[in-house]
Amino acid sequence: MKLHREGYTIIGVGMLILGLIQLGNYYLYQSTGWLWLFGLISLAVVVIAYLIVQFFRIPKREVNASDFDILCPADGKVVVVEEVEETEYFEDKRIQISIFMSPLNVHANYHPISGTVKYAKYHPGLFLVAWHPKSSTDNERTTFVTQHSSGQEVLFRQIAGALARRICYYIDKNDKAEIGGEFGFIKFGSRIDLFLPLDTKVDVKIGDVVKAKITKIGQLNS
């Protein structure tokens, strides 16, 4: 496991602040002798430090997928599997699969398929809770469409939430995408939406806990 580069500054600043808090906690204990308070604050410092570090962790995972597989782009829980009208790019019906990412999940995002990025657009917006029905269209978000070698296209969208205030992405139109390759990061919780062709074989259901680069979301029609 390694730490994501997006976390270096936050981890450094966070550890400095927590170190100062613990130093103050030590001097407070020296002056009061309140061991219970010293222990409580020390425990809180350790827990917060752990949460900050684990949020930016990048576990080592190997990609094992066939050419038509659609891999999960993020860790989290499947909260939507339904047929919807996609209005930004396709303007037709697609299968939407949404993955909610809690603050405890790994937050790096990965390409669900290989191909060529045909569309990339950033949208400023609101910061509604990630499970809100309008978060997919009203929140800060980025939308990408990758065209598979078969000609089929998959749309995937990073969506900011109430805690997530920064979406990071590293791809642009005409870039080559490799399944399981990193394309972005969302800081402090949110969700990823996928919009798949109607004839896609879907392998997940609502409530499933999924892992990026490992869980197969489905398979494009070959």
Looking at the fold, whether 105 and 214 belong to one and the same domain comes out as yes
pLDDT at 22: 95
| Same domain for 151 and 51 | no
| 112-129: pLDDT as tens digits | 999 999 999 998 866 566
Range of the domain at 13: 2-58
Domain annotation covers residue 144:
yes
Within the chain, residue ranges assigned H as helices are: 8-32, 35-55, 135-138
Q: Given 114, 135, 136, 190, which residue is catalytic? A: 190
User: Which residue, of 32, 58, 84, is where some domain finishes?
Assistant: 58
Cα–Cα distance between 102 and 130 in angstroms, integer?
9
Same domain? For 106 and 189 the reply is: yes
The question of whether 149 is a catalytic residue gets the answer: no
The number of distinct structural domains making up the chain is 2
Same domain assignment for residues 106 and 210: yes
Cβ-defined contacts of 219-222 (< 8 Å, 24+): 219/66, 219/68, 219/69, 219/70, 220/68, 220/69, 220/70, 220/113, 220/148, 220/150, 220/152, 220/154, 220/196, 221/68, 221/152, 221/197, 222/67, 222/68, 222/150
Q: Do 193 and 84 reside in the same domain of the chain?
A: yes
pLDDT digits (tens, 9 = 90+) for 12-48: 999 999 999 999 999 999 999 999 999 999 999 999 9
For the chain, the average pLDDT equals 89
pLDDT (tens place) for every residue of the chain, 222 residues total? 688 788 788 889 999 999 999 999 999 999 999 999 999 999 999 999 988 888 888 888 989 899 999 999 999 999 999 999 999 999 999 999 999 988 788 889 999 999 999 999 998 866 566 555 555 666 788 999 999 999 999 999 998 865 555 788 999 999 999 999 999 988 766 889 999 999 999 999 999 999 999 999 999 987
Separation in Å, CA 14 to CA 59, 117, 120, 135: 21, 36, 33, 29
| CATH number assigned to the domain comprising residue 161 | 2.70.70
Distances (CA, A) of 134 to 95, 125, 144: 17, 11, 19
Q: Is residue 64 part of a domain?
A: no
Pair 113, 202 in one domain: yes
In terms of Cα–Cα distance, which of 158, 143, 149, 160 is closest to 90?
A: 143
121 and 87 in a common domain? yes
| 96 and 44 housed in the same domain | no
pLDDT value, residue 105: 85
Full-prediction pTM beyond 0.85?
no
